[in-house]
Chain A
Amino acid sequence: MLFSSGTPWLIVIPGILIGLIFGAIPGLQISMAMAIFLPITLYMDFMQAMLFLTAIFTGGGFGGSIPAILMNIPGTSSALATAFDGYPMAQKGEHNVALGIALGASCFGVIIGYTILLLLISPISQIVLKVGPAEMAVVILWGITLIGSLSSGSVLKGMISGLVGLLIGTIGYSEAGVTRGTFGSPYLLDGVPVIPAMIGMFAASELFRLARKDYLVEDRAARQVSVRLVLVGFRRALANPWIVLRGSLIGVSVGAIPGVGSSVANLLSYMATRRSSPNPESFGKGNPSGVIASESANSTSEAGSMATLLALGIPGGGATAVMLAAFAMHNITGGPQFIREQTDVVYAIIIANFGQAFLLICLGLLFIPVLANVIKIPMNYLVPSVLAMSIFGSFGLTGDLSGPLTVLVFSLLGWVFKRYDYSVPAAVIGILLGGMAEDSIVYSYQISGGQWSYLLERPVAVVILVLLAVSLFGGKVAKFLTGRLGR
């Protein structure tokens, strides 16, 4: 079916390009691209439709890293951790290498993720069925622990920013059916729009500061766009297979959890890599391992969310929800029956993604040199252009002026936080996870009736808690034990 003719592949190339473009433009989402092009898939057979939509998904997964690295704008929440080290690399003139690393880690991650899916689609779907609000709460708690380790200066200030972010994330309607923290604004009824807030905190506040510079990279020689250096970065990602493998495992397992997915996966992978690094203090200052960890996890979480979609018929996020709509348009229902009866289609979709990863390498290598020229634009032109783009993008996300207003408010907050040495990444993680954390805690409370022992009756939650404890204290315990044995 896949290899008997080249026709199915002809739609993969435009799909990847659409994904790259929508991912690379801040404010345009992968799910938006898929929704816009969904009607076209009516004229395709089911297999072609899935190839086209997964190609957009794959292209968009990498595309989101481009503005995160070049402009400090994580266009999607899954590219948040990419900006932590990708942007400092770009500032140091290592933009080519950083983009190459992101491409390598994304492609390598997609291949590993779909290999895991190919081998373990049934067990993954069984585990996902055992995941409830308690497990989600523990996973989110794991993500929140990253806040404590992200403060480069004062730990106390880092904690304050993270907690303020978490509190902001809870604004709006609560599970009790009342609104709080909206201060009368109808724009805040559904809470603070997360991605515009991220754009404001990260990008706009940084652009205010950069307006005084002539170029993003002051050294003229370092501003060159070099395909050779992109390839160096690509090879560097492949030279760190353990980071990619760890990121991929986290990406598949967390990506499979509906509603959490890639937003948390990239943070967990980043945190795990930072903790196991001999130089954890170099993270956040342009450590390539941070980019590898984040990109391998966010690209692999696509495979995780596909596992949930194919095996259970449950969409994990916006993009897979559009795919579910494509299922419906072709009169197909995902789930165990679909896997049993249309095994050939399921495996064809998985195998096609290997081909997409190789096509992404070719298209990415063609696309990156064009986009990397952003670095050569004088700041007096770049700053207003990117600020305006972020405003258009935020309007696109919310559909009204609440998006631009959110960017404005959070850009001011981000600028104040930077000026007074509070951690902006910690605050952003708090905003991202605050709402999710509250929902899962309330649901767990409702199910358990307020009994903490309920958590111990959930084997998956216990396993995640043990993993969390090992990731937090494992290194220290091992060091202590080694010291004792050494004496």
Chain B
Amino acid sequence: MTNRHLIALNKRRVADLTLLVLLAGIASLYCFDAARASTHIYNLIMVLPLSIAIFILCTVQFVAVLRSESIEAEEAREPTGALPVIVLFSLYVLSLNWLGFDVGTAMFVGVFLWVHGERRWPWLIGYSVVFAFVLTFFFSQMLPYPMPMLLPGLANAYPF
């Protein structure tokens, strides 16, 4: 086994083990939160057995990962190239309250296109603006509740 393989193996193990600890930890936290709210059987009838089962299975898997030596799965693992998309998508969702669905969507689509290599400005701006307008208009007409918007004029109008 080469040094590169050993480093990959260790990285993968650490990530796998961290995720297992997180899952077991969150399940336990949830169980304690539920028990603190009420120890009545109606409250814990599912939460308690599920949390215990998750904790046990995570522990078994933890030991299995510690003992395993295979690094084959590393080849098939999702690459981290998706991170820019995740960051952009997170910013889009978290900014909806301030930017509104209209401007927020146009900016998200425009920036996404630019990041993914679209350099034809008329296409880039045209598509993002038209797409955002059509989508915003359609949903604002269809939904019976107000949507956050930055631009005036796209206010909700319930059709019936």
Contact = CB atoms under 8 A, between A and B. Distances in A.
A475 interface: no
Interface stretch (A228-236, A278-286, A401-409): A401-409
A183 interface: yes
Contact of B159 (A36, A180, A418): A36
Interface string A412-437: 10011011110000000000001001
B46 A437 contact: yes
Given A208-B82, A396-B142, A180 B54 contact: no
Contact of A166 (B38, B50, B89, B101): B50
Given A178-B38, A438-B46, A441-B46, A209 B89 contact: no
Interface in B60-100: 60-61, 64, 73, 76-79, 81-82, 85-86, 89-90, 92-94, 96-97
B139 A395 contact: yes
Contact of B34 (A28, A174, A208, A209): A174
B101 A156 contact: no
Contact of A160 (B58, B76, B85): B58
B150 to A, nearest CB: 15
Interface stretch (A311-319, A326-334, A336-344, A380-388): A380-388
A264 interface: no
B97 A442 contact: no
B45 interface: yes
Given A170-B46, A178-B37, A160 B54 contact: yes
B47 to A, nearest CB: 6
B60 A176 contact: no
B8 interface: no
A434 B46 contact: yes
Given A163-B54, A167-B54, A411-B89, A401 B46 contact: no
A40 interface: yes
Q: Which 10 A-B pairs have the closest CB atoms?
A: A180-B34, A176-B43, A380-B116, A384-B112, A208-B82, A178-B37, A419-B78, A175-B42, A176-B40, A176-B42
Given A176-B42, A392-B101, A415-B78, 20 more contacts: A32-B142, A40-B160, A157-B61, A163-B50, A164-B27, A166-B46, A167-B46, A167-B54, A175-B43, A178-B38, A178-B43, A387-B92, A388-B92, A392-B105, A392-B139, A399-B143, A404-B96, A411-B89, A416-B19, A420-B16
Interface of A: 28, 32, 36-37, 39-40, 154, 156-157, 159-160, 163-164, 166-167, 170-171, 174-181, 183, 204, 207-209, 211-212, 379-381, 383-385, 387-389, 391-392, 395-396, 399-401, 404-405, 407-408, 411-412, 415-416, 418-421, 434, 437-438, 441-442, 445-446
